[in-house]
Amino acid sequence: MATHFPGRAPRENPQYAGLSAVGKSASFATGSSLIKPNKKMTGIFFGSTTGTTESVAARIAERLGVAQADVHNVAAASVEDVKKYDLLLLGSSTWGSGELQDDWPGFLDKLGKEDLSGRRVALFGCGDAGIYSDTFCDAMAEIRDGLASTGCTFVGGFDAEEYPGCGSRLCQDGEAIGWAVDDSASDAENQMRMELWIAAIG
């Protein structure tokens, strides 16, 4: 199984799929409704220690019209829960020095062994770029790397310039790999980045 990171259309970056990317998969060939989030098939999975990422997950659910029953704390979720969704929105805060939130490693170990072919994965996370600039939201990269063998397709990458001075694993090859909510940014800035992320998911 190969994990797909088709590129943003304008640059044809092989690592990330964008809204209108001309990918190798027929489902991504156009900007049709095929790639729009379907709330019936969208699952949100988060890990949160002090509640920030949990709040963000609820905010995403409200914005996208995802039912509460489809919002899962990985501390209590099983990989079986994942299988009913076509679009997975996976979120973790970053702790220690660039590490996954505590509830994620066990879940990710199991999820990383699953066949997620045909499923799209978009990443979000919480961190603090002001204090932890070198490891800002690195947990998102941990999740992405942990799913490298699952055959999933990552979506939701957008221009790293939206994160000025970004020097962590969040930003690679000019792309932010998902929506990183920054404790040190303004609400307006975080909100604007959320909209860019949602637009990139398609």
Ligand X SMILES: Cc1cc2nc3c(=O)[nH]c(=O)nc-3n(C[C@H](O)[C@H](O)[C@H](O)COP(=O)(O)O)c2cc1C
Q: In angstroms, rounded to a whole number, what is the distance separating the alpha carbons of residues 45 and 75? A: 10
What Å distances lie between residue 126 and 161, 185, 193, CA to CA? 18, 11, 13
Nearer to ligand X, 153 or 168 (CB): 168
Nearer to ligand X, 9 or 185 (CB): 185
Tokens 């949100």 sit at which residue?
44
Nearer to ligand X, 51 or 65 (CB): 51
Q: Which residues bind ligand X (CB under 6 A)?
A: 48-53, 93-98, 101, 126-128, 132, 135-137, 183
Q: Whose CA is closest to 200, among 43, 11, 53?
A: 11
Taking the complex as a whole, how short is the minimal distance between the CB of residue 179 and ligand X, in angstroms? 13
Query: Which residue's CB comes closest to ligand X?
Result: 127
Distance between terminal CA atoms of the chain?
A: 24
Q: In angstroms, rounded to a whole number, what is the distance separating the alpha carbons of residues 165 and 188? A: 19
Taking the complex as a whole, how short is the minimal distance between the CB of residue 199 and ligand X, in angstroms? 23
Taking the complex as a whole, how short is the minimal distance between the CB of residue 34 and ligand X, in angstroms? 32
Nearer to ligand X, 20 or 133 (CB): 133
Taking the complex as a whole, how short is the minimal distance between the CB of residue 147 and ligand X, in angstroms? 20
Count of other CB atoms within 10 angstroms of residue 85: 22
Taking the complex as a whole, how short is the minimal distance between the CB of residue 98 and ligand X, in angstroms? 5
Cβ(64)–Cβ(97) below 8 Å: no
Cβ(80)–Cβ(111) below 8 Å: no
Nearer to ligand X, 15 or 133 (CB): 133
